[in-house]
């Protein structure tokens, strides 16, 4: 059997972590099985639809490097893959279900439905949903009222055991979930006779979803467990049409560390937010792929190709997955360290420009070369792309001269700091031309009898404006002897003045 699965988002909001995890698992499952991954837009909610959200979907997939085999902008044998372009199909199948007795016309107005709801609320009734008033209408009366122009919706006839003649179907609906096992759902607990086709001719999610999955040959439906309660209804729909349902697999929920469903209160959730914050697509994919799925013991980092080869439904976990922002940062840091200097400079440059690192605007040729050369100083210390330019300001503009007290080691004095800076000043021409090993040897020779940290601390503060900075010897090489000497002289003057 050829595996065919799909990601079918509604373009009514930005793509978020939960949606990405669903899309990624469907993508990986199709790739691991040599199957077909389909993208379908379920855009029948026209009141909330926004073309910007649709574009966000395409932009997100492009940024992540995920490609669909069939779908919008690509085509395929089941085109169109946008539900608003398939409304004629849904009307056809709703009418077919009417003829089979699996559905019926409902002539109840919105005002009546609201009145029933209000009366139940006032009476504190436990009943919810539609009261099935039109379920007993005979086919002749139903057809006559429709022909007379009376507005109606089409509702699914949920099988009920208590119907006369015993033809109402079983009391429960059973199906097997690939992850959760055998599931049994009381029909009385299913949404009472939900609308399949609205009065404006547009389908509801349930009808369009089932019809499209059937016509597109979907073999496996991988979706979040929040859709589990809709599955009995969908199974009833499949059986009403006489179709074979696909294999269902309801994925574990993605939770915050407080045990509640991941949401904005936990932090960023939209993919755009993570992208703007400086996460790399491969880090996000790697981490999300592990939310509810295990691969190899003792291994954390996987390329997309490796995930495609290793993914299996048998590796899914039943327990909810916990989204850990700190762990994602760690992953991002690992992928930052895999980038060469040219790649890392190109990825982080927009953040440098936005932060005004180059004095406003794009960098000149020399500034760009210096920025690229500086990647080796910060690669090991950055977890997010904005961390990179944030650590490099001292290379592109002179930092403020630290107050005298900031140039003195914690257990030292002004005289010791002055002596260290004067000695370092003599070494600068040599340090600017030496590699790290040679530079360390030179400093140890000259700083004999002084702790290396106490010797270098005043120099670091003088050159970078801070007690903590990227590697000092590399910074000296990039600054050059002349700029270093100018800053040391300013620091010496500040120390002399503070005595």
pLDDT above 90 covers what percent of the chain? 83
Give per-residue pLDDT as tens, 328-357: 999 999 999 999 999 999 999 999 999 999
**CATH architecture of the domain formed by 87-208:** Alpha-Beta Complex (3.90)
Q: Could you tell me the pLDDT band of residue 159, with boundaries at 50, 70 and 90?
A: very high
Q: Could you tell me the pLDDT band of residue 167, with boundaries at 50, 70 and 90?
A: low
CATH 3.40.50.2000 fits 404-498, yes or no: no
- 49 vs 33: CA distance, rounded Å: 33
* φ, ψ (nearest 5 deg) of residue 434: -105, 155
Mean pLDDT of 31-48: 93
Is residue 135 pLDDT above 60, yes or no? yes
Is residue 164 pLDDT above 70, yes or no? no
pLDDT above 70 covers what percent of the chain? 98
Give per-residue pLDDT as tens, 65-117: 999 999 999 999 999 999 999 999 999 999 999 999 999 999 999 999 999 89
pLDDT at 297: 82
Mean pLDDT of 377-403: 96
pLDDT at 169: 56
pLDDT at 121: 87
Q: Could you tell me the pLDDT band of residue 258, with boundaries at 50, 70 and 90?
A: confident
pLDDT at 254: 92
Alpha-carbon dihedral of residues 292, 295, 298, 302, nearest 10 degrees? -100
Mean pLDDT of 157-175: 73
Q: Where are the alpha helices (DSSP H) in 355-471?
A: 365-373, 375-378, 387-390, 393-396, 414-431, 436-446, 452-464
pLDDT at 162: 57
Residues 6+ apart with CB under 8 A from 309: 32
Round the average pLDDT of the chain to a whole number and report it: 94
Give per-residue pLDDT as tens, 197-256: 999 988 999 999 999 999 999 999 999 999 999 999 999 999 999 999 999 999 999 998
Mean pLDDT of 400-421: 89
Residues 6+ apart with CB under 8 A from 261: 253, 254, 255
**Hey, what are 292's tokens?**
């509810």
Is residue 28 pLDDT above 70, yes or no? yes
Q: Check if 260 is active-site.
A: no
Is residue 486 pLDDT above 90, yes or no? yes
Catalytic residue among 100, 186, 260, 264: 264
- 356 vs 207: CA distance, rounded Å: 53
Of the given ranges (45-54, 312-321, 456-465), which has the lowest mean pLDDT? 45-54
Mean pLDDT of 34-56: 93
Which CATH number is associated with domain 264-337?
Answer: 1.10.1160.10
Spans of all domains in the chain: 87-208, 264-337, 341-386, 404-498
Of 414, 425, 429, 436, the C-alpha closest to 496 is 414
pLDDT at 170: 63
Mean pLDDT of 21-48: 95
Give per-residue pLDDT as tens, 286-328: 999 999 999 988 899 999 999 999 999 999 999 999 999 999 9
Residues 6+ apart with CB under 8 A from 280: 332, 335, 336, 347, 385
Domains 87-208 and 404-498 share a fold: no
């Amino acid at each position: 059997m050829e595996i065919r699965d799909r990601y079918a988002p509604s373009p009514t909001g930005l793509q978020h972590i939960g949606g990405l995890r669903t899309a990624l698992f469907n993508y990986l499952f199709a790739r691991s099985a040599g199957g077909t991954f389909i993208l379908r837009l379920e855009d029948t909610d026209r009141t909330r639809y926004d073309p910007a959200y649709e574009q966000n979907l395409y932009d997100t997939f492009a940024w992540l490097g995920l490609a669909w085999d069939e779908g919008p902008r690509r085509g395929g044998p089941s085109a169109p893959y946008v539900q608003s372009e398939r409304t004629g199909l849904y009307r056809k199948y709703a009418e077919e279900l009417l003829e089979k007795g699996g559905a019926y016309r409902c002539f109840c107005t919105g005002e009546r439905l609201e009145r029933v709801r209000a009366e139940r609320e006032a009476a504190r009734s436990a009943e919810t949903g539609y009261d099935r008033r039109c379920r007993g209408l005979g086919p002749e009366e139903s057809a006559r009222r429709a022909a007379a122009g009376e507005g109606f919706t089409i509702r699914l006839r949920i099988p009920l055991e208590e119907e006369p003649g015993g033809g109402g179907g079983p009391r429960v609906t059973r199906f097997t979930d690939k992850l959760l096992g055998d599931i049994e759902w009381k029909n009385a607990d299913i949404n009472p006779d939900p609308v399949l086709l609205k009065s404006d001719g547009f389908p509801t999610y349930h009808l369009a979803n089932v019809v499209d999955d059937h016509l597109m040959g979907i073999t496996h439906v991988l979706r979040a467990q929040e859709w589990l309660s809709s599955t009995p209804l969908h199974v009833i729909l499949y059986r009403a049409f006489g179709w074979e349902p696909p294999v269902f697999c309801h994925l574990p929920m993605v939770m915050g560390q407080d045990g509640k469903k991941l949401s904005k209160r936990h932090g960023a959730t939209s993919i755009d937010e993570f992208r703007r914050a400086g996460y790399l697509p491969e880090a996000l994919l790697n981490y999300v792929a592990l939310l509810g799925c295990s691969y190899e013991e003792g291994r954390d980092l996987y390329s997309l190709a490796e995930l495609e080869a290793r993914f299996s439904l048998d590796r899914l976990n039943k327990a909810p997955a916990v989204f850990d922002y700190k762990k994602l940062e760690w992953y991002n840091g690992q992928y930052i360290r895999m980038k060469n200097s040219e790649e890392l400079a190109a990825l982080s440059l927009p953040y440098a420009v936005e932060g005004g690192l180059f004095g406003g605007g794009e960098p000149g040729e020399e500034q760009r070369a210096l920025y690229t050369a500086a990647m080796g100083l910060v690669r090991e210390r950055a977890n997010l792309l904005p961390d990179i330019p944030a650590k490099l300001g001292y290379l592109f503009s002179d930092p403020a001269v630290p107050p005298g007290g900031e140039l003195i080691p914690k257990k030292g004095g002004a005289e010791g700091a002055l002596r260290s800076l004067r000695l370092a000043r003599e070494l600068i021409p040599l340090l600017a031309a030496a590699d790290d090993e040679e530079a360390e040897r030179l400093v140890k020779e000259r700083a004999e009898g002084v702790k290396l940290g106490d010797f270098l601390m005043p120099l670091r503060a003088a050159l970078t404006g801070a007690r903590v900075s990227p590697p000092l010897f590399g910074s000296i090489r990039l600054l050059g002897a002349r700029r270093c000497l100018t800053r040391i002289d300013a620091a010496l003057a500040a120390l002399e003045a503070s005595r």
